[in-house]
């Protein structure tokens, strides 16, 4: 048989093979496709869960089960807006738009990339609910097959209803009801025309067109939707103009959280730029954090109860002065000193009222809470715990180049022109709390009782830049002024900075970077991200132990005496700014370092004698007692080259074992006193121990 006679048989066999192959391929696609029978009961299953360090569930992000909003409750303006911008021929085509597909194909070829999809609303619904976003031929064929099934089994109104309830609008909003609440704090049925147009413009690029990210882009996108609606006859030109003039809300509505809302938001803000909101809210991630849920709940309870009590006490003041009562604010943060893991975080009284995180965003003057940095620098530059400092009035005058100490008595002010005294840029006269001065004082007592004149004297001797150097080395990142007022905390810092910087003392000189996320797993358990402590040795352990030992004195018989109620070894420092506008306490045990700030958002006084020791320290104490209740009681262990010596509390010299008032002091080996003091009893220590546990500002 020649080739011409064989040709029909060959064509037949090839055609049959093609048909059978295509049928087999289509059959495999059908078998691999999800059933649309599950559509009506569909709810998102990919829930992101956030866990604490012990594996306890903190929260689930957007876990509410979706309830379909009937089409009749969705405004006609919103339906028309979606049709105008997404699929104007929706009620006329049979699921796909040949013209749209052809136009998209030509555009993609011209741009040499997948730049345009050409999908109808039905196709988008099929892809959104049943399929992955991969761009393959098989996925596109499945999309078309599912689209035909949807069109065959559901009416156009049902398809539109399903689409409106499933599509993503950004900011964690899935479906029109959720979007209406997040963007406008309304039910969808209450939306007006401009709000409907705004929502309709979001699904194409939710983050890009979000009014929370860029109001100008959102307005331009809304105008595009309104113009399409007008061109299609859905609205008049007058309605278009009025809708375009409607103001856009660019502030995100408060998002409530069951527990640790400020911490969850802190984590979200870190992860969303890396993973995108779709992955965070729909990706089924498991986010394992450093938070200790027990400590967090203890923090929320301690801060909330104490601030509520404070407000009640201040109510009489507001009523007496006939002024509007305002709520005091506060922040608390706790960190593991060994790793930098954040164990608890509170950024304010109520996350629903204010998402501003006062623990990490607010920069306030720390007052005397900054003094540990001054004394840390001093103890490595010529000072010891028993260095004698003269506590007396100081008068500084600016000579045009720098502040110069002019007198150690306020009588000198009588020699100055009155206009100089009233000018803070000419004359500076710092004061101790209560305007009390105690003459010759040991460095330990100066720190324990937060004597301002002593801190200034020390800073003047070592130089402000030396203190700045140590503060930066320990973790303070905010700008610090090169002035003597730095000794009194005149430069604003955040609570996070203070806590993480003092954690260096607790960890024996190792600075750790605070972090919140341990690891992230995807829905299949594959690790997407894993974080480990970042450590850097910045101070000698001997120096850290000596400063810690001094700060223990602040708690034992200084301005932080309220912290003794923790019932375990702890160290810390109070802080109060000028006019009592900010109250601080930052302290630590071997296992945990924490800080508390209390104040008003506006810089106004908390009230007379509302110091860090009185306002912030009790909150810290209540929190630490509860947070550490299951932890063993540990003491601070001295490193090598630490020696202890019995010293006289007045002179700082060595004392005999039977000397009245003598106490055991820690020194870096080689810096301990070498001479003995043998005389009668001193009155200095008793006098200092009677000073109230408060301190003033600068």
Task: Give the catalytic positions in this structure.
Answer: 86, 368
- Please write down the HEC assignment for all residues of 28-71: HHHHHCCCHHHCCCCCCCCCEEEECCCCCEEEEECCCCCCCCCH
**Bridge partners of residue 398, in order along the sequence:** 403
Output helix, strand, coil percentages for the chain, rounded to the nearest 5: 45, 15, 40
CB atoms within 10 A of CB 305: 12
Report d(CA 636, CA 415) in Å as an integer: 51
Report d(CA 83, CA 330) in Å as an integer: 48
Report d(CA 450, CA 693) in Å as an integer: 9
Report d(CA 212, CA 272) in Å as an integer: 14
Report d(CA 482, CA 57) in Å as an integer: 46
Q: Angle at the Cα of 602 (from 597 to 604), degrees rounded to 5? A: 80
Report d(CA 119, CA 108) in Å as an integer: 14
CA distances from 414 to 365, 398, 399, 421 (A): 31, 17, 18, 9
| DSSP-derived secondary structure letter, 248 | P
Report d(CA 303, CA 22) in Å as an integer: 69
Among 258, 262, 252, residue whose Cα is nearest residue 495:
262
Among 254, 207, 216, 204, residue whose Cα is nearest residue 87:
204
The residue with tokens 């909330």 is 304
Q: Which two tokens stand for residue 562?
A: 């309220």
CB–CB of 516/289 below 8 Å?
Answer: yes
Among 375, 298, 399, 305, residue whose Cα is nearest residue 630:
298
């Amino acid at each position: 048989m020649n080739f011409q006679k064989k040709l029909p048989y060959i064509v037949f066999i090839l055609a049959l093979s093609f048909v059978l192959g295509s049928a087999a391929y289509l059959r495999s696609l059908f078998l691999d496709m999800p059933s649309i029978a599950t559509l009506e009961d569909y709810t998102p299953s990919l829930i992101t869960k956030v866990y604490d360090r012990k594996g306890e569930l903190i929260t689930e992000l957007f876990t509410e089960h979706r309830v379909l909003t009937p089409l009749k409750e969705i405004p006609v303006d919103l339906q028309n807006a979606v049709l105008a911008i997404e699929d104007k021929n929706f009620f006329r085509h049979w699921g796909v738009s040949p013209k749209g597909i052809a136009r998209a194909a030509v555009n993609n070829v011209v741009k040499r990339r997948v730049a345009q999809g050409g999908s109808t609303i039905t196709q988008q619904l099929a892809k959104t609910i049943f399929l992955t976003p991969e761009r393959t031929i098989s996925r596109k064929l499945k999309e078309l097959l599912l689209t035909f099934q949807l069109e065959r089994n559901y009416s156009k109104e049902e398809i539109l209803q399903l689409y409106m309830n499933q599509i993503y609008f950004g900011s964690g909003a899935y479906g029109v009801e959720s979007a209406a609440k997040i963007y406008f704090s309304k039910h969808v049925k209450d939306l007006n025309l401009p709000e409907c147009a705004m929502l309709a413009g979001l699904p194409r690029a939710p983050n890009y067109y979000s009014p929370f990210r860029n109001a100008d882009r959102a307005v331009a996108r809304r105008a595009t939707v309104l113009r399409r609606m007008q061109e299609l006859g859905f609205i008049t030109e007058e309605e278009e103009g009025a809708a375009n003039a409607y103001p856009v809300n660019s502030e995100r509505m408060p998002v409530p959280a069951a527990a640790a809302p400020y911490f969850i938001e802190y984590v979200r803000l870190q992860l969303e730029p890396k993973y995108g909101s779709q992955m965070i809210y729909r990706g089924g991630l498991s986010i394992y954090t450093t938070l200790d849920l027990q400590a967090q709940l203890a923090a929320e309870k301690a801060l909330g109860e104490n601030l509520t009590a404070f407000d009640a006490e201040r109510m009489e003041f507001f009523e007496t002065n006939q002024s509007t009562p305002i709520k005091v604010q506060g922040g608390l943060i706790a960190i593991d000193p060994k790793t930098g893991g954040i164990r608890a975080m509170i950024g304010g009284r109520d996350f629903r009222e204010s998402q501003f995180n006062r623990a990490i965003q607010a920069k306030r003057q720390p007052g005397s809470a900054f003094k540990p940095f001054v004394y840390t620098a001093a103890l490595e530059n010529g000072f010891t715990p028993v260095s004698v400092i003269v506590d007396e009035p100081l008068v500084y005058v600016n000579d045009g180049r720098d502040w110069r100490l002019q007198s150690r008595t306020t009588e000198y002010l009588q020699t100055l022109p009155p206009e100089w005294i009233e000018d803070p840029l000419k004359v500076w006269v710092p004061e101790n709390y209560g305007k009390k001065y105690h003459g010759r004082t040991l460095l330990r007592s100066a720190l324990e009782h937060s004597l301002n004149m002593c801190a200034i004297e020390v800073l003047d001797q070592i130089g402000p830049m030396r203190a700045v150097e140590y503060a930066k080395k320990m973790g303070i990142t905010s700008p610090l002024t090169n002035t003597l007022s730095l000794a009194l905390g005149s430069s604003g810092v955040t609570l996070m900075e203070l806590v993480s910087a003092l954690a260096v003392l607790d960890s024996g000189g190792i600075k750790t970077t605070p972090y919140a996320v341990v690891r992230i797993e995807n829905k299949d358990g594959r690790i997407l991200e894993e974080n480990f402590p970042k450590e850097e040795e910045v101070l000698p352990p001997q120096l850290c132990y000596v400063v810690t030992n001094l700060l223990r004195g602040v708690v034992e018989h200084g301005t932080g005496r309220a912290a003794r109620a923790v019932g375990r070894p702890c160290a810390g420092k109070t802080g109060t700014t000028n006019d009592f506008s900010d109250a601080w306490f930052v302290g630590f045990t071997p296992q945990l370092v924490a800080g508390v700030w209390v104040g008003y958002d506006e810089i106004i006084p908390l009230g007379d004698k509302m110091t860090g020791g009185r306002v912030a320290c009790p909150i810290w104490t209540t929190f630490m007692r509860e947070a550490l209740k299951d932890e063993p009681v540990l003491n601070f262990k001295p490193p090598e080259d630490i020696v202890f010596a019995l010293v006289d509390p007045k002179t700082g010299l060595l004392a005999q074992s039977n000397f009245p008032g003598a106490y055991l002091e820690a020194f870096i080996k080689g810096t301990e006193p070498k001479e003995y003091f043998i005389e009668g009893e001193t009155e200095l220590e008793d006098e200092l121990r009677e000073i109230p546990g408060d301190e003033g500002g600068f």
